[in-house]
Structures are given as C-alpha cells and as structure tokens.
Amino acid sequence: MASFPRLFRLFGDTRSISKGKALHAKIIISGMAQDIYTNNHLLAMYVRFDRIFYARKVLEEMPERNVISWTALISGYSQVGMPGKALDCFSLMINDSVEPNYYTFVSAVSACASLGDGRAGKEVHGKIYRSGVDFSTPVSNSLINMYGKCGLLKSAQLVFDAMLLPNSISWTSLLSCYNQRADNLKSLNIFLKSRRVGVKINEFACASVLSACAGLEDLKFGMQIHCLVVKCGLEFDKFVETGLISVYAKCGDLNLACQVVLEVNQSKLAAWNSLIGGYVQQGKRREAIDIFLKLYSSGIRPSERTFSSILGAIADAENIELGNQLHTLIIKMGYSSFLVVRNSVLDFYSKCGFLQESLRTFEDIDEHDTVSWNSLISGYVRSGQYEDAINLLKNMLFQGYKPNLYTYSIILGVSSDFPAIEWGKQTHCCIIKPAFDSNVIVGSALIDMYAKCGVLNAAREVFDSLTSKNLVSWNTMLTGYAQHGFAREALEIYSMMQRGKVKPNDVTFIGLLSACAHAGLLKEGLYYYDSMTRDHGIAPRLEHLASIVNLLARKGETRRAYEIIRSFSMEPSKVVWRCLLSGCKIHKDLVLGRLAAEKILSIDPEDTSAHIMLSNIYAEAKMWDKIAELRKIMKDKARKKDTGCSWIESKNKMYSFSSSHSTKFEGVNLIEVLNQLTVHLSDAGYFPHTSFYLSQERA
C-alpha cells in the first residue's frame, strides 16, 4: 500500500496513462481502503494526464479531503483552460471548511486572471488578507498579473509597492501590465527603474519594453534595448526577435528590420509575419508581397496570421487578381475555416469596393464576430452607400454584437461625412459609458467629427482630454481649425506639437498651408512651405503645391505662383491650375488666367467650371468676342455645370437639397424662402457683380 503513491507519482511524471489507469483499476477491484495520502497522489496523477474529469471523480469519492486535494484539482482546472470550474472548486473548498494555502490562492488568482474577472480577483485578494497567509512573492506576483489583465493598474501598482523584495518576475509582471494597456511611457520608466535596482533582465521583460518602444515609435531607445539584448544573448528568443522587428518596422527603418531576420539563423514564422506586417503598416505593399513570396518559396508554411497580414498589403482594386489567388491558396491550405482569415478576406474585398464579394464572404462565415461586421460596414461606408451601412449597423446591434473601438470610429466617420452632429453626439455618449473616449483612435475620430460639423469647441475639449495623443490627433485638430478659417489657432496647435517634440508629417503641412491660405498669411505660408524640406525632409506633394499656389494667387502674387508651378518636380494637377485660375480671376490677370484655364481643359476637356471661370475673366476685360466663342463651344458640346447639393440634419433625419429641385422642407417652400432672402439683400444695398452673370447660365 505504501508503494502506491510512489507509483502514481512515477506514472504521472512519465505520462504512462495506461499503467496509471490499470493500477487504479486494480486497487478498486481489490477493495483495499485508500488513505488520503494515496488518493491525493492518484488525483495529482490524473491532473498531470489532463484527465480532469477523472480527477474530479476521485475527489468526489474521497472519504476525506484536505487542502492538497482541493488545490491539486483547482490547479488542474486552471492548467487545462477551465478557469470558471477552478473558481467553482475554490468556492466548494471554502464551503467544505478547508483553509486554502498560498498554492491554492495562486491557482485561484490565476483563474481570475484568465477570466479577466477583477471583481472575483478582489474577493480572493480579500480572503488572502483575512486568512493571514503570508503575501509571499508568488502570491503577490499572481495578484499583479491578475490586476493587470483586468485593467486595474492602480491595484497592481499597490500590490507591487507593498512587496519588500520584488524579484525579476514581479518587475516583468508590472511592466507587462502597463504594456498591455498601451501605457508605453510608464512601461519604459518601470524598465529603467528595474535596471537601476540591478534586476536581471529576461526575454519577457525585453519583449514588453520593445513593444513599448514600438508603440512610442522611439527608434533610439529601441536600438539601445537591441544592444542590451545582444549583450545578454537574448536575440534568438522568438518573442524578442519579433519585438525588435516590430520596433524597426513601426519606426520606419525596414532595412534594420530585415537585418534582424537575416542575422537570426532560421528565423521563426512569427518574425516573418512581423516583417510582413511592418511593410504593410509603412505602406510598402510591393515589398510586403515580395517577402511573402520569399517566405512561401523557402518552404515555410504560412500561418493564418501570415495570410491575414499579406491580405492587408493588397487591399486595392489594382491587386484584385493577386487577392483572388491568395483566397484560392487559403482554401487549398485549409485556412478558410479560421475566422481571422475569413475576416481578412472579407476586409480585402470590402476595401477593393467589391461589395457583392464581401457580402458573399460574410454570409459564408458560420459565426460572425464584431470584426466581421466592421469590415462589411466599412466597405459600404467607403463606397458612399451610407443607408445600407446604417441598416447593417442596426442589424449588428439587433443581433447582440457589441460595438468595439473600430465600430465607433466607423459611425463617427459617417457622422463626419454627412455631417450629422446629433447622431455624432449620441455616439459620443455611447462611447463615454465604456470609457472608450480615452482611446486615441476613437478620440481622434471624435475630434474629426466635431471639427467637420463645425463644433470646434467640442473638438478642442476632446483633444485636450486625451491623455495620449498620436500624430493623427494633432493633425485632425490642426486641420479642423484650418478648414474653418481659424488660422491662428491652427498655428498654435503646430507650436504645441513643436514644444512636445511631435514630429510632423506631410498631412500636418497641408493643414498649415491651408490655414495660411484661408487667412492670407503669406509670410508664414512661405516659411512653412520651405520648412517642410529644409527642417523635416518632407518632399512637397501636389496638395502642398496647390495650397501655396492658392495662397500666392489670393494675395495677387500670380506670377510668383506660376514660377513655383514651373519649378515643381511633378506634373501639376487640375486642382493646382484651378487655384491659379481663381487668383487670376480675382486679380484680373488675363494672360495667366487664360493659360491656367487652358491647362485645366487640356487635362479635363469636359470641365464646365473652367469654361465659366475663363468667361468671367473675359467679361472683366470686356472681351465680348472671346465670350461669344466660349458660349458657342459650350452650346455645341451641350456642357452643363454639375448641380450643387446640400443636406441638413433635423430630428434625426437627413434632408437633401439641390438647385435643380423645388423642395419643400417640413411644409415650407424653400424657393419662396430664398426669394425673400434675395429681397432682403437688395433692401440692404447688395447688388450682384454683373461680371459673374455667365456662371448662372445653363447651356
């Protein structure tokens, strides 16, 4: 009888399932009475075999149970991924008047962490405190990990601060807590503190701090960590390697990211996936596709994450054939059953504008998730089919799917495009309840919505309330001010960016130049245009050219604007010439105005507005013969200016108006209202400039 526990332990250690079960059967047949010591080893053996049902059966049939019996079963449930059952057993143990030990508490806290149940975790924490069990390092570490996974960072920090001698696991757990909640700056500070107190680093700490560097796009600090990783011999760890690639990729240094893969012999698939994802994030789709082909040709079998990443590289209509080939390969390799892959395929078709294909893919998915709905809805929004998108959103909510951060970003995008301020405000209320408004992505979408709806005070309140701002947040606020003519406020935002050492990009300067153009700030506009290349190494695009030409032309510097156009490295677009033409019309520069109009018509011969603006220039110069020629051309080709369209939101409904329709709004004839406004304008002394009479004519 005394040898049974030793045999059960031996069979458990050697994974001899058949021998262990045979011995158990022999004991049952013999009818021998078993003591608690033997039963505990029998139970522990089944736990090691992952036969948790048999372990539970053994416990239930034990005439006597102690803390070791319960702890073994609770630990077993946690190990096999059944944390709910583990907590149920913990409750039964308490009801059985058995006092837990610190091993029991560690298993129970781990179960709470797996469930993300902070409330249950706090209850277990309270039991630990009341039981008088020493808050040993393993118990404290498990509590830090649990609070971190539940998002209760203050509680995690309090447990850590109460520890007399935190070890490397304690530091790594706390670092991981902040890293999981994207508090990257705090993560770096914790890592630096751990180094100052002499804590030996491990691969988990390195992976977490590299993730923080990637989130902050701090290349310099990331390279320092890389040196430390090499010094400690951790560069071959797959998590560290993936972290290094992620840092270099997100910081835009893809050559160094490739070098990491090449330096580590036989890089794991995770490293290749990170490299592909890095190229996709940097917009280098062709290179991402080349790396995927190299990976596939080397004999490494792609994973579901590989396909998910590479599909993001071909999300445009130009690569639809390659996308179809990848879809076929996914089916051939048996990955079509993975939801993450199906969602990526759905997103690919959605972004390419193939809504029928995306809808078919959506319908083929057996069990959707929020990502599936988001991908489908965003496709309809991107195609301008807002009504269908709204109906899909209603179906999503009706079927019980909870919106996530991206869902709210889509809704806010629709509110911005209309714009529909009341709908946007309601969405804002929904966002506040789950505390999503602190998220930088949703926060940026809120700023954009309020700015496009003209409620700049609300946009600024959201902007100021964001604890963490990214470049999109700054650019959105700056552009919002610029679009509404608040040039000084836009320039102040840029000054704040400089003080905060936020690196601007090309979008930042589009907003700055637009602000200067609206306010006529010629000196400032020229300074920022030169500063782009001189101070930040950003090559001007056509959008920047259009803005500076618009600014110069508005100020009467049409010749200077033309010289900038001539010296530009790219072929000017129609928008650039239109900006020059508009300035020429205002300042009566007939020669350049005619040239600009001809350039527009050479790019787009069907541009009616260019004909009209040119005719207005001729009218200013009283060149009636030229006007007659233009009128004849317009009549011969039966050109017609596109009808303008406006809309308004009232009582949660959208109303559309155009000059070609006599629309009634809530029983009021809008044409009569406009006629009355015209009379009021005349009474106030306003008379239209007669040189613009051709713009009202219809061919």
pLDDT per residue over 319-373, tens digit each?
778 888 888 999 989 888 888 899 889 988 888 888 898 899 998 888 888 999 9
More confident residue, 512 or 185: 512
CA distance 144 to 483: 47
Average of per-residue pLDDT values in the chain: 82
Specify the pLDDT at position 246: 84
Residue 404: φ, ψ to 5° = -110, -170
Strand partners, 425: none
Q: Which of 516, 574, 515, 564 is nearest to 540 (CA)?
A: 564
Q: What is the mean pLDDT of the segment spanning 428-446?
A: 82
Handedness of CA 73, 74, 76, 81 (dihedral sign): positive
CA distance 425 to 446: 9
Q: Label residue 24 by pLDDT band (50, 70, 90).
A: low
Q: Is the per-residue pLDDT at 551 higher than 90?
A: yes
Contacts by 149-153 with C-beta closer than 8 Å and gap 24+? 149/113, 149/114, 149/116, 149/177, 149/180, 150/112, 150/113, 150/116, 150/117, 150/118, 150/121, 151/118, 151/181, 152/118, 152/121, 153/177, 153/178, 153/181, 153/183
Q: Is the per-residue pLDDT at 509 higher than 60?
A: yes
CB 615, CB 627: distance < 8 Å:
yes
Q: Label residue 26 by pLDDT band (50, 70, 90).
A: low
pTM of the shown model: 0.61
Q: Report angle CA 669, 672, 676 to the nearest 5 degrees.
A: 140
CA distance 552 to 674: 35
Q: Which of 588, 527, 603 is nearest to 558 (CA)?
A: 588
Specify the pLDDT at position 665: 59
Specify the pLDDT at position 693: 45
For residue 437, the 8-state DSSP code is G
Q: What is the mean pLDDT of the segment spanning 215-237?
A: 86
Interval 619-654: pLDDT, tens = 776 777 777 776 766 665 554 555 556 666 565 566
CA distance 235 to 373: 39
Q: Which of 197, 196, 263, 276 is nearest to 229 (CA)?
A: 263
Specify the pLDDT at position 211: 87
CB 160, CB 126: distance < 8 Å:
no
Interval 261-299: pLDDT, tens = 777 666 678 788 888 888 887 778 888 888 888 888 878
Q: Is the per-residue pLDDT at 34 higher than 50?
A: yes
Q: What is the mean pLDDT of the segment spanning 29-34?
A: 62
Q: Which of 140, 194, 138 is nearest to 162 (CA)?
A: 140
Residue 653, helix vs strand vs coil: strand
Q: Which of 573, 641, 583, 643 is nearest to 612 (CA)?
A: 641
For residue 439, the 8-state DSSP code is S
Helix (H) or strand (E) holding 657: strand 653-658
Q: Is the per-residue pLDDT at 90 higher than 70?
A: yes
Specify the pLDDT at position 467: 80
List the alpha helices (DSSP H) in 568-655: 574-586, 590-603, 608-620, 624-636
**CA–CA distance from 480 to each of 143, 150, 483, 493 (Å)?**
45, 36, 5, 11
Q: Is the per-residue pLDDT at 31 higher than 70?
A: no
**CA–CA distance from 638 to each of 608, 633, 634, 697, 698 (Å)?**
10, 8, 6, 12, 9
**CA–CA distance from 442 to each of 179, 370, 406, 472, 676 (Å)?**
19, 16, 8, 11, 43
Q: Kindly report the number of other CB atoms within 10 A of residue 353's CB atom.
A: 14
